[in-house]
A and B are shown apart, each in its own frame.
Chain A
Amino acid sequence: MTDDPHILWLGQEGAPGNPLLGGKFASLAEMTAAGFAVPPGFGVTTTAYRVFMAHAGLDDKAAFVREAARRSALADIGSARARLVEAIGAAPMPEKLETAIRRNYAILEERTARAGVPVAVRSSGEAEDLADASFAGQHDTYLWITGADAVLQNIRACWASMFGDTALSYRAGGDGAVAAGGDGICVGVQQMVEARAAGVMFTLDPLNGDRSKIVTEACWGLGEGVVKGDVTPGRFTVDKVTLEIVQREIVPQSEEYRFDPASGAVRLMPLAPEREHAACIDDDEALALATLAKRIEGHRGAAQDIEWAIGADGDVRVLQVRPETVWSQRESTTLVSESRSAVEHVLARLSGGRVATADPGQREP
C-alpha cells in the first residue's frame, strides 16, 4: 500500500479513473486526459490518507466510529468522535508526505506562475460520485487557500470531515455504496477559478427527466451559492439537439460568493449594483456551456451533473463531473401505451385520443 503514490496530478498518466483519487478527482483526471478545461491540481491520494492515519495510530479509533455509524449509534459515541476529529487535526504528519505536499504545491505555484496561488482543497471520497448515489456535498471543500501551511492544515480538515455528522449519516443510509466503496479519502488541491459566474449543469431536465434538455443554473461569483442553495440561480434550458435556448429565467441577485481580502476568506459579499438585475452569463456563454455539457455527456456515456465556472477572462472551466443519479436510475417508461401503426395512431388522435399516454412532465422523480 505504501508503495502507491501519495500524490497524483490530474494530468498525470495513470490518474484518470484511478481509485486512489476518490470519485471526484478520478473523474476530473479523466476529464483532463480527454482534453476538457479542468483547473490544474493534484490529489493527495487515499494511500496518503491511510499512511497518515496509520502513522498517527488512529486506525482503530476510526474503525470504531464507522462501525457505530453503521449501527446508527452515533449519538452514543459523541465524545469518541470529537476526540478522533481533534486527533486528526493535531497528529504529526509523516515527514515524507508533508514534504511531498509542499513540493507539489510549489510546482503548482510554478505552473500557474503565481506565488501563493489560491487553491481549493477538496475532499474526494472513495464512495463519492458513484452512479447510484451522488454523496454530493457530504465532504468538505475549502476555498481560496493560499500557501503550503494553510494547504496542509485544510487537508487535515478534509480528512477529519470523513467523521463529520453529515458524512457519517449519509453513509449510514447508503449502505450498499459504502460497502462497495470503502472508507478512504483523497484530498484534491486545485487552482481556484476566480469566477465571474459559476454554477451547475444537468444533461437532462432535473424536473421531469427529459433527456433532450440541458439545464444550466448560474449565479454571479463562485458557484458555492448554487451548490449550498443560499443564492437563487438563474436558469437556462437549452435543447440538447438543436442547441437553442428554449427557456431563460433571469433571477435578481444581490450577493455573490467571492474572496474577501479583509477577512481572507470566501464569503457572501454585496454584488455590484449594475449586476443585480443582469444575466450573469450571456446567451453565447449559455450555449457554449450547453455544448460543453453535451460533449461531456457524450464522453462519459450517461447523463451528467457538472459544476463549472467562468473566469474573469471568460474561459469556462469544468470543476466537477458526476453521473446524474435521480432519473438515470429510474426504469424507462414507455410513452406509447400500445404498439400500433402510424395510421392507427393518427386515426386515434383524430378521434380525440393521444399517442403518448405517459407524460414525462407529469412524472415524479
Chain B
Amino acid sequence: MTETPASGDTRQPAAAAPPNRGFPSPFELPTPDGAEGWEELYPYYCLISDERRAMEEGKFWFFDGMHNPEPLYPFDTIMTENWWVAASQMASRVWPIPVAMGIDQRLVNGYIYVSPNSVTDPDQIAARHEYFARRAGHYFENWDEIYGNWVEKAKDCIARLNQIEFRPLPELEPEETVFGHRGVYSSHDLLSAYNRLIENMLEMGSYHFEMLNLGYGAYLTFREFCQQAFPGITDRTLTQIVCGIDNLLLRPDDKVRELAELAIQRDLAGVVLQHDDPDAMLAAMAKAEGGAEWLEAFEAAKEPWFHFSTGVGYDHSDPVWIDDLRLPFIALRGYVEALQRGEDIRRPLERLLAERQRVTEEYRALLPTDQDREAFDGLLALTCKVFPYVEDHNFYVEHWHHTIFWSKVRELADVFVAHDFFDDREDLFYLHRHEVYDALYDLLIGWATGTPPRGEVYWRPIVERRRRIRDSLCQWTPPPALGTPPSVVTEPITIMLWGITEKTIEEWLGVDPAAAGDVLRGVPASAGKVTGPARVITRTENLYSVHQGEILVCRITAPSWATVFGRIGAAVSDVGGMMAHTAIISREYGLPAVVGVGFATATIRTGDRVEVDGNEGTVRVLERAAP
C-alpha cells in the first residue's frame, strides 16, 4: 500500500473530551465502523473489564503511540505483554523503586493505553527505600562490570535465537532419528522450537529492562538538577551533554558511509547509482571489476548492523534493513553522490566531542557554588557511565534480537503455509501467540493421525475477519488520554520515556483535536525554520514515498529512519519524550524538528503546506491541500 495524499482523510475524529475537563472514559469510546468484535483479537486480560469499571475509569491511561502507533496485531502483543511484566517487575518487585509500582496496560480499539502505578504512602516509600538503596546501589557501584556481562548475555541470547529453526514436518521421520534412538521426533522438535522461540523472546525482554530504570533514574536526576540550576535549559542541550556521540544506533549509518567511500575508491560509483532496485544493483556489482571486494565488505557490514528496524522494533511489519535493502541503498546513493560532489560525509566526531566539552564546561562554570559543581560532576559522571547501556541496549534488543525474532516467526509461518493453514505467511500475525500454540498442536495432530487438521479450514475466515477489523481500527484516531487525570506525575519512567508531566496533561486537557486549528505546538527538538509540503507517514512501510524537501509528519521517528533525514526538510512527530532520538538525528542533519505535537498526523494531511519552527516548537498549516 502506498501513501496517497488522500490517506488519512477517512480517519474518524477521536471522541472529544467531556466538559468536566476529564478525559473520555474508556467505556464510552465508540467502536469504529467495521471493527465490531475487535476484542476477539486479544486475550481477555488486555481488555478493559466491565466488572471492574470503577477501577478502570479511576485510572489515568495515556496512549503509547511512541512504541505502538498502530492497532496491535494479535501476535505482536508479545512485545507489549513482555514489558507489561518485564519493565513493571523491575520497579515494583526487583529494585523496588520507592515511588513506583509497575505500568499497567489496556488495549482500546486495538491501541495500547498505559497507566503507571505509583506508591504514595510515605511509610511504604520508606520501607521500599531500604531495599532499593542496597539493590540499586549495588548495580550503580558495579555498573560497568554488570553491563559487560549484560552484553555477553544478550549476545548469547541472540546466538540461541539464531539456532532456532522451523521446518515443515516430513512425510516420514528421517532414518537418523529412528536409528539414533532419540525417542522424540519432528513433532516435538517443532513444538519445542516454538516454545524456545517464545521463551527466548521473553528472556531478551527481561534483559531489556534489567538496568533501564536505573539508567533513566540517573539521567532524570541529572536533568532535574540542571533544570533547577538553569531554568529553561533544553532537553536537546542535556542530551548533547550526556549522549554518546558514537553509540551503536549510529553504527548502521556509519557502515553505509563506509560502503559509499569504498564504492568511490574502487570506481564503483556508477554501479551504485545505476540501479534503484537493490537486487539489480547487487547483481551488477557482482559482475563489475572490483565488485567482489565491495560485496564482501557489504556482507561483513550486514552482520549485525543491518539487523536494523525502521520502527521501534515492536511491530513485525516495520521493514528491516537486512530484509529490505531499499532504505540503506537510498542512503548509500546519497552518500556516493555527496562524495562525488567532494563533500566530507564522515560525522565530525572530534568537533562534536569538542563542542560537547565546551558546553559542559561552560554550564559547570555557571553553577553558583563549589558544592553544586561537585554534585554536577558526580551526577554527570554517573549519567555518562549508565548512558552506553541506555542507548546501546536499543540496538541489541529492539534491533538485533527483535528483527531476528520476527524473521523466525515468519519461518514458523512458512510451516503453516506449507501445511495449508494459511495462504500467506503474514497471516500468522492475526493469531495471538497462545492461539499459535493451539494451531501448532492441531497441526501436529493432523500430521500424526493422518486426519486433515481442522486448522486447514478453521483459520482462514478468522484471519480474513480480523484483517478487516484491524483495517477499520487503523482509521480511528486514538485520543491521547483516557480516564481520570492525575494531579501529579512522579513515576520516573513515565516522565523520562514518555515525556509525560503535569504540563503535558494540562495541555491535553485543553486541546480539542477537532478545534486544534492551524497552529500545533510541541517540543522544539532541533532548531531552524522550514516551510514545505507535508508527507504524513502513519505506516513505516510507506517511508519510501517521502520526497526530497518534504516535511515528514509521523507518529514517531525511529533512529533507523536516519536515512530519509537526508531528503526531508523537517520532521514533526506526534509523540516523543526526551529520550526520542529524533532530536539528536535532526540536529545532526541540521533539520528543524518539533516532537510531541500530539495531533500532527490527525490534523495535517499529505500535501498541506506547513511551516515547522524548531525554535518555537510550532507547526503551522499555511495552506491546505486540495481535498
Contact = CB atoms under 8 A, between A and B. Distances in A.
A343 B98 contact: no
B217 A350 contact: yes
Given A213-B232, A237-B232, A351 B99 contact: yes
A332 B369 contact: yes
A102 interface: no
Contacts of B99: 350-352
Contacts of B492: 349-350
B125 A347 contact: no
A212 B379 CA distance: 19
B314 interface: no
B300 interface: no
Contacts of B125: 351-352
Given A248-B616, A283-B615, A335 B381 contact: no
Interface in A250-298: 283
A63 interface: no
Nearest to A341: B378
A294 B400 CA distance: 46
Given A237-B232, A346-B140, A336 B129 contact: no
Most buried by B among A248, A283, A336: A336
Contact of A346 (B231, B371, B382): B382
Contacts of B225: 335-336, 345, 355-356
Interface in B364-385: 366-369, 371-372, 374-375, 378-379, 381-382
Contacts of A359: 228
B226 to A, nearest CB: 9
A349 B97 contact: no
Contacts of B234: 239, 242, 244, 246
B195 interface: no
Interface string A328-352: 0000111110010111011101111
B237 A242 contact: yes
B382 A212 contact: no
- Interface bin, chain A: 35 or more
A4 interface: no
Contact of A240 (B141, B366, B490, B527): B366
B137 interface: yes
B242 to A, nearest CB: 13
Contacts of B511: none
Contact of A345 (B137, B221, B362, B367): B221
A360 interface: yes
Most buried by A among B125, B217, B366, B375: B375
A342 B615 contact: no
Given A334-B372, A339-B374, A342-B382, A347 B366 contact: no
A111 interface: no
A283 B615 CA distance: 10
A349 B369 contact: no
Interface in A153-205: 205
B132 A342 contact: no
A12 interface: no
B86 to A, nearest CB: 19
Interface of B: 97-100, 125, 128-129, 132-133, 136-137, 140-141, 214, 217-218, 220-221, 224-225, 228-234, 237, 240, 359, 362-363, 366-369, 371-372, 374-375, 378-379, 381-382, 490, 492, 527, 615-616
29 contacts: A208-B231, A210-B230, A237-B232, A239-B230, A239-B232, A239-B234, A240-B366, A248-B615, A335-B225, A335-B367, A335-B369, A336-B225, A336-B374, A339-B371, A342-B218, A342-B381, A345-B221, A346-B140, A347-B132, A349-B217, A349-B220, A349-B492, A350-B97, A350-B136, A351-B99, A354-B224, A355-B375, A356-B229, A360-B231
Interface of A: 205, 208, 210-213, 237, 239-242, 244-248, 283, 332-336, 339, 341-343, 345-347, 349-352, 354-356, 359-361
CB-based closest 3 A-B pairs:
A342-B378, A332-B368, A356-B228
